Amino acid sequence: MRQSSSPSEALLRGLSGTPDVDAELSDHALLRALLDVEAALARAGADTGLLPASAAEEIARQCRAERYDPAALGVAAEAAGNPVVPLVRELTAAVDESARPWVHHGATSQDVLDSALSLVAVRAAGPLLRHLADAAEAAARLARTHRDTVMTARTLGQQAAPTTFGLKAAGWLVGLVEARTRLDQVRAGLPAQLGGAVGTLATYGTAGPVIVERFAAHLGLAASPLPWHTRRQPLLDLASALGGLLAATGKIALDVGLLAQTEVGEVAEAGEGRGGSSAMPHKRNPVDSVLVTAAARRGPGLVGTLFAAAAQEHERAAGGWHAEWEPLLDLVHLAGGAAARTARMLAGLDVRPQRMRANLDATGGLLLAEAVAARLAPALGRAAAHDLVRRAAGRPDFRAALLAEADLRAHLSEPDVDAALDPAGWLGSAGHLVDRALDLHRQATRSPATSAKPHREVQP
């Protein structure tokens, strides 16, 4: 069956997503997850003897997404407020008459849709985590290669002091490793939902807890100790992890975009034919930086919607639950696109050490004012040393102005001043911090991540 899409999806959605993640978020993928949930529900009932095994197998046999039209189900969903009601109606009509009493046995619509969204998120997290791993590996290569490449650090938008490009890349790396670890942990704990109409599992009698365990096992999801119909922490954890991922990739994209500015020119995005302008033939825009930044700007609003919807009334929500579905899928979509584009951006980044050095030297040593003051402080005191260096910084030739200060010459020789003005001598623990970041990345790579375990697909 051909999946329908709107023109805006065809023209715009590809700019914020990536195909392998989006394939797990499509209408067909959500329909498949909904049907996988219905099949798992029937099999869990058969496992505990609450319904005939033959009925469970017949229900599972009819739980194939290609048998149903997602567009038609979407239209029919409007009457009930969710797509599960028309789907159950069609599934019931599709199975043999003997199995019909057992379709959707003991469940409510929220059980099916919540479990399906957990399943969709778990499946989409597979390729998403691989993109994050690729991005982290690219950041690690940059940190390793440029461990000692000196550049200007910038604070509050101004040149501040020397740092290394390796340390900047190491910061990117740690952000990516942390984002991947959080998402991996959340993915491993995403639960199935099963509680029945009001969360009592009344249809199953005392077998309810066992049914829940078997149901979750069939889906390859975690089993929740209680139904979470109006306790939305699992989705909040997922939203937080995805929001953190967008923040980590957005920080990298913002840095790259600023470093690629014409007046700075310390990096450039790679890619033949990418970054063109419809009006200016000479331009080479940092396209991946721009698109990842755009995704990061959208993330907080979506996370905020999920948190705003999370305080839900009594045993089942009127509107709060419904408000979650699209923002959650949009978050996964944006996170997938941001992770994939960050990986590509970092893997092909054109790093320009000579330009970094030229920008570092552009202020005639002013970036080392802190280093000079630190050398003088033991003799003059911190405040007096600071004032002396500040006076010299206000003159055209910083080095000459320093050497003209009698109080400075009484304690520092000309070679001492030159040593203080050498950027490589004022890097502190930068190299050690890069090494720590690389060690963290190696440990995360060696650790048996939960995402490395293949998710067991439900077999119809």
pLDDT in tens, 110-120: 999 999 999 99
Residue 292 lies in a domain: yes
Residues 264 and 371 reside in one and the same domain: no
**Domain holding 17: CATH number?**
1.20.200.10
| Percent of the chain's residues with pLDDT above 70 | 92
pLDDT tier for residue 3 given thresholds of 50, 70 and 90: very low
Confidence (pLDDT) at 274: 63
- 215-223 average pLDDT score: 98
The answer to whether residue 328 scores a pLDDT higher than 70 is yes
Confidence of residue 200 (pLDDT cuts 50, 70, 90): very high
Q: What is the pLDDT of residue 452?
A: 40
Residues 91 and 133 in one domain: yes
Please indicate, yes or no, whether residues 226 and 296 belong to a single structural domain of this protein: yes
**Average pLDDT rounded to a whole number, residues 139-161:** 96
In this structure, the answer to whether residues 205 and 290 fall within a common structural domain is yes
Q: What is the pLDDT of residues 151-198, one digit of tens each?
A: 999 999 999 999 999 999 999 999 999 999 999 999 999 999 999 999
Instruction: Please indicate, yes or no, if residue 427 is contained in any of the structural domains.
Output: no
pLDDT band of 7, cuts 50, 70, 90: very low
What is the average per-residue pLDDT within 310-330? 97
Same domain, 300 and 446: yes
Q: Verify that 50 and 85 share a domain, yes or no.
A: yes
Q: What is the pLDDT of residues 81-103, one digit of tens each?
A: 999 999 999 999 999 999 999 99
In a domain, 460, yes or no: no
Would you name the residues annotated as active-site residues?
Answer: 277, 316
| Per-residue pLDDT at 447 | 73
**Angstrom distance (rounded) from CA 44 to CA 50:** 9
247 shares its domain with 296: yes
SS3 of the chain: CCCCCCHHHHHHHHHCCCHHHHCCCCHHHHHHHHHHHHHHHHHHHHHCCCCCHHHHHHHHHHCCHHHCCHHHHHHHHHHHCCCHHHHHHHHHHHCCHHHHHHCCCCCCHHHHHHHHHHHHHHHHHHHHHHHHHHHHHHHHHHHHHCCCCEEEEEECCEEEEEEEHHHHHHHHHHHHHHHHHHHHHHHHHCECCCCCCCCCCHHHHHHHHHHHHHHHHHHCCECCCCCCCCCCHHHHHHHHHHHHHHHHHHHHHHHHHHHCCCCCCCEECCCCCCCCCCCCCCCCCCHHHHHHHHHHHHHHHHHHHHHHCCCCCCCCCCCCCCCCHHHHHHHHHHHHHHHHHHHHHHHCCEECHHHHHHHHHCCCCHHHHHHHHHHHHHHHCHHHHHHHHHHHHCCCCHHHHHHCCHHHHCCCCHHHHHHHCCHHHCCCCHHHHHHHHHHHHHHHHHCCCHHHCCCCCCCC
- How confident is the model at residue 214, as a pLDDT? 98
- Is 98 within a domain? yes
Tell me if 1 is assigned to some domain.
no
- Asked whether residue 434 carries a pLDDT value surpassing 60, the answer given is yes
Residues 436-452: tens digit of each pLDDT: 999 999 999 887 554 44
Structural domain tally of the chain? Answer: 2
Question: Considering the domain boundaries, does residue 281 fall inside one?
Answer: yes
Is residue 251 domain-shared with residue 316, that is, in the same domain? yes
Verify that 300 and 415 share a domain, yes or no.
no
Instruction: Report the mean per-residue pLDDT for the chain.
Output: 93
Which pLDDT value is given to residue 277? 45
Looking at the structure, do residues 382 and 245 belong to the same domain, yes or no? no
Q: What is the pLDDT of residue 270?
A: 84
Strands 267-268 and 150-155: unpaired
Query: What mean pLDDT comes out for the span 206-231?
Result: 97
* Residue 286 pLDDT: 85
Q: Which domain covers residue 381, as residue numbers?
A: 366-420
Same domain, 298 and 205: yes
- Residue 276, pLDDT above cutoff 70: no
**pLDDT surpassing 90 at residue 314:** yes
Residues 109 and 184 in one domain: yes
